[in-house]
Amino acid sequence: MVALIDYDAGNVKSVEKAVEHLGYTARLTRDREDLLNADSVILPGVGSFGDACARLDEYGISPVIREVTEAGIPFLGICLGLQLLFESSEESPGVDGLGLVGGHIRRIPDVGLKVPHIGWNSLSFPHSGRMFRGIDEGAYVYFVHSYYLEAADESVVTATTEYATHIHAAIEKDNIFAVQFHPEKSSDVGLKMLSNFLEIR
Q: Which residues are catalytic?
A: 79, 182, 184
CA gap 110, 156 in Å, rounded:
27
How far is 159 from 9, CA to CA, in rounded Å?
Answer: 24
Dihedral angle over CA of 116, 44, 90, 123, nearest 10: -60
**104: amino acid identity, one letter:** H
Query: How many residues does the structure list for the chain?
Result: 201
The separation between CA 148 and the C-alpha centre of its own chain, rounded to angstroms, equals 11
Strand-pair category, 176-179 with 75-78: parallel
CA distance 49 to 59: 16
- Between CA 77 and CA 122, with CA 165 as vertex, the angle to 5 degrees is 60
Cα–Cα distance, 141 to 124 (Å, whole number): 11
Residue 124 is given by DSSP the state B
Q: Tell me if residue 114 falls in helix, strand or coil.
A: coil
Closest CA to 29 of 4, 10, 8: 4
